[in-house]
Structure 1
Amino acid sequence: MSTHDEPMPAATEFDDEAVLLVGHGSRREKSNEQVRELAANLESRLEIPVDAAFLELAEPAIDDAIAGLAPVTSRVIVVHCSLFAASHVKNDVPMAIEQARAEHDLEIDTGAHLGVHPAILDLMDDRAAAVEHDLSVDRENDDVAVVLCGRGSSDPDANGDVHKLARLLFEGRAFDRVEATFIGVTEPTLEDTLHGLSKHRPDAVVVLPYMLGDGVLTQRVRDRTAEFDADYPYVDASAGGPLGTDSRLLDVFADRWQEARTKSVEMSCDTCKYKVDLEGYEEDVGGARAMLRALAHQEAHADRADVDDEPHSHDAPGKHVAVCTNRTCAEMGSPAVLERLRQATRDSDYCDARITRSSCLGRCGDGPMVAVYPDGIWYGDVASGDAERIVANHLERNRIVSDLVDQTL
């Protein structure tokens, strides 16, 4: 683990390297400013340029940030602000990076999520101690229960890591208990966890929002905790602050940066729902549905000034059509295919599909390539005149255009 006392390598070693710190993005500008502050502090630590970018709700977007770095560097290391490896880490950011690689003459490497790290565990312990002080309790002498509240995910791996962090926070400390819970998407919910704890009648309940910035969800955790405190007068309860811009996060970022630049990133695939047939997640194996959702998510947040009240409430279309517009396919006419498909889709009363451009699909020379998901049908040697057939048959009636099929996945 990096520490403040360890000397950084000489700056001249990284003259042509920059870092892009990618945050989620929030409607609360305070939360976005925290990411930018972390980027500035990381730049001071690493002594190389560090810019900030966001997946949604804030600017700049990843592609815009990389486009800004492209003229001044030949290598970009992407470092995640994501706490766990859910869809944004596994799908959305990699997709944005692949598109950037196709558009810019850059070497782009990406690190792992922040994950369960000793520096974060130490930080959470301090957050708990601050709440104990506010409540005038002491874990050594009082029954103090801790609730670690994560964002919640549709990815069981990410949810499992919240439980792991909660257990590690309990080990070796004098808390009465430490329980994991979630503010949305999955269970147990924060309300149910707090209600269950009330039956044990602890002296105090410390709620720790396991979130980076002070955004909408962090406030929701505070509100739910305040409601519990009012409803159960015999238990004192209070919520702590998010991770924020604590300098210990720089230790984690520095570790993830070093792993990425030395190509030593390690992410476990043993329980990844895209790799392993997990109970209840069988349809996610292979990643086709994930790709569809990621592309829908990307398009839904393309206009950052026009977003839904619930940023993750948008539904994926029935089908997603990806048209390769990389060099070889473009030379063979794929831009015209893309536009004809889009026009035919707009003209259709029955087509529930989204048409987007794609980077290289790995079938150079057999294009223009058109991939239809979640069906896993790849069409090759597609001419612009074939667009109406694909829409009328495959997208409207689920009838494969057999003479154009290149491969099925």
Structure 2
Amino acid sequence: MHTEQTSLDDDAVLLVGHGSRREKSNEQVRTLASKLERHLSLPVDAAYIELAEPSIADAIETLAPTCRSLTVVPLSLFAASHVKNDVPMAVQVARTKHDDMTFHFGSHLGIHPSIVDLLDERVRGVEADLGVERGDDDVAVVLCARGSSDPDSNGDVHKLARLLYEGREFTRVESTFIGVTSPRLEETLHTVAKDRPDAVVVLPYMLGDGVLTQRIIDKTETFGGEYPYVTAGASGPLGTDDRLVDVLADRCREARSGSVEMSCDTCKYKVELSGYEDDHGGARAMLRSLVHQAEHADRSDVGDDPHVHDAPGKHVAVCTNQTCAASGAATVLEQLRQQARKSDDCDVHVSRSSCLGQCGDGPIVAVYPDSIWYGGVTPDDTERIVSSHLERDRIVSDLVHQSL
């Protein structure tokens, strides 16, 4: 993979993976970056949102001295919080630091004919292993994705399953999830079994063979034991197949031509969706707060400012997604609001947030623009957060979970 460029006129691409504690998963991102570099005949480097190095910011700093134009493409199956918030925020920060560079931001992998073809090939591989033949035997397919708190992302899973069904001789193609939302894999498999197909093929809709992929495979094996009259098998993940490289190349070309289309009409961060009316927090609200604060930074020097309000000094987001909610996040949220209202020296806006990506370590409380995250916060901790951090800018060090 390319590590240095020799011409300031060169364009470059930054492929952004999620990042994992498993080095094998991080290596997959680097492998795809290398393949994409050969495909585009452009330098392509890899970066990660979290859990691995380099970060997006560090990768851009490395590329900036020898690159005039950079296309940033997220290696993500669907557009959930990271694609809609974290990566764009990093690109926007980079634009302010490197005003002599041109940045293009590409779309996620999403729904693409090459991916549908890849899934079809994965099904054929399992059919061969099970000794069944499509058309002669009744084959049901279950497409299992990770699951998200973003309805737009979950909706795309159902669309992809339908496209896989169209024009192919499957008995049915069902979409399901391994976590976060429903229907869950076990429920879907039991429902499919009622129709007594000859075979059930489960497709883990994952890039790598991590914990969730293995969990899908294990649950498929358990299902096969519970229903001996149904032959069941699971495929491997998408991996580093060349068709993914084809999709990434298309996403790069779209970005460079300014023709990227995001699904803003069904994005919970941009429109009100039934059941998600309160999800106005998270990274979107943090970004809004940062931008708003910057716009008002020199207000005192303006005199007759036409604005009728000030940006809050700080923005506090409390994750109220499933695992944090189970740990008492709602009470923490309310206590922070009450403590802030009681304070005479606290210029803060407190809001609920969707998943902040630290499941199991919550409740998570993020304070911006300080970029301080507190973890395992209890209602008893809220007074200290307000009196020390929000009033006097003194970080409550024993609660710090992550500094961004």
Q: TM-score, normalising length from structure 2? A: 0.72
2:89 matches 1:95: yes
Q: How far has the Cα of 1:323 moved from its partner?
A: 5.5
Q: 2:209 aligns with which of 211, 214, 222?
A: 214
SS at match of 2:53: coil
Higher relative contact order (CA 8 A, sep 6+): 1
Give, in whole Å, the separation in 1 of the partners of 2:107 and 2:113.
15
CA deviation string 1:341-368 (max 9, x = no partner): xxxxxxx972447xxxxxxxxxxxxxxx
Aligned to 1:312: 359
Q: 1:29 aligns with which of 9, 23, 31?
A: 23
Aligned to 2:218: 223
2:203 matches 1:170: no
CA deviation string 1:316-338 (max 9, x = no partner): 644623159xxxxxxxxxxxxx9
Relative to structure 1, the CA distance from residue 388 to residue 27 in structure 2 (aligned partners, 3 Å threshold; closer, same or farther) is closer
Give, in whole Å, the separation in 2 of the partners of 1:237 and 1:351.
54
Give, in whole Å, the separation in 2 of the partners of 1:144 and 1:352.
56
Q: How far has the Cα of 1:111 moved from its partner?
A: 0.5
SS at match of 1:71: helix
SS at match of 2:264: coil
The letter for the 1-side match of 2:25 is S
2:117 matches 1:154: no
Give, in whole Å, the separation in 2 of the partners of 1:102 and 1:89.
20
Instruction: Map 1:1-150 to 2 at 5 A.
Output: 15-105=9-99, 106-150=101-145
Task: Determine if contact 1:32/1:213 at 8 Å carries over to the other structure.
Answer: no
Identity fraction in percent:
61
Aligned to 1:288: 281
Give, in whole Å, the separation in 2 of the partners of 1:225 and 1:256.
33
Q: How far has the Cα of 1:141 moved from its partner?
A: 0.5
Relative to structure 1, the CA distance from residue 191 to residue 389 in structure 2 (aligned partners, 3 Å threshold; closer, same or farther) is closer
Give, in whole Å, the separation in 1 of the partners of 2:157 and 2:174.
10
CA deviation string 1:33-55 (max 9, x = no partner): 11111100100111111011111
Q: 1:350 aligns with which of 383, 391, 397?
A: 383
5+ long unaligned stretches in structure 2: 1-5, 288-315, 319-356, 373-380, 397-404
Q: How far has the Cα of 1:182 moved from its partner?
A: 0.5
The letter for the 1-side match of 2:391 is V
Instruction: Map 1:252-271 to 2 at 5 A.
Output: 252-271=247-266
5+ long unaligned stretches in structure 1: 1-11, 298-309, 325-337, 339-347, 354-386, 397-409
SS at match of 2:107: coil
The letter for the 2-side match of 1:256 is R
SS at match of 2:60: helix
Aligned to 2:193: 198
Q: TM-score, normalising length from structure 1? A: 0.71
Task: Determine if contact 2:281/2:317 at 8 Å carries over to the other structure.
Answer: no
CA deviation string 1:241-268 (max 9, x = no partner): 1111111111111110011111111112
Q: How far has the Cα of 1:312 moved from its partner?
A: 3.3
Give, in whole Å, the separation in 2 of the partners of 1:319 and 1:217.
27
Task: Determine if contact 2:199/2:230 at 8 Å carries over to the other structure.
Answer: yes
Aligned to 2:241: 246
Give, in whole Å, the separation in 1 of the partners of 2:262 and 2:97.
27
2:228 matches 1:233: yes
SS at match of 1:277: coil
Give, in whole Å, the separation in 2 of the partners of 1:273 and 1:314.
25
Relative to structure 1, the CA distance from residue 391 to residue 166 in structure 2 (aligned partners, 3 Å threshold; closer, same or farther) is same
Relative to structure 1, the CA distance from residue 110 to residue 288 in structure 2 (aligned partners, 3 Å threshold; closer, same or farther) is same
CA deviation string 1:54-90 (max 9, x = no partner): 1122222111111111121122101111111111100
Relative to structure 1, the CA distance from residue 109 to residue 231 in structure 2 (aligned partners, 3 Å threshold; closer, same or farther) is same
CA root-mean-square deviation: 3.0
Give, in whole Å, the separation in 2 of the partners of 1:166 and 1:68.
40
Give, in whole Å, the separation in 1 of the partners of 2:129 and 2:7.
47
Relative to structure 1, the CA distance from residue 79 to residue 205 in structure 2 (aligned partners, 3 Å threshold; closer, same or farther) is same
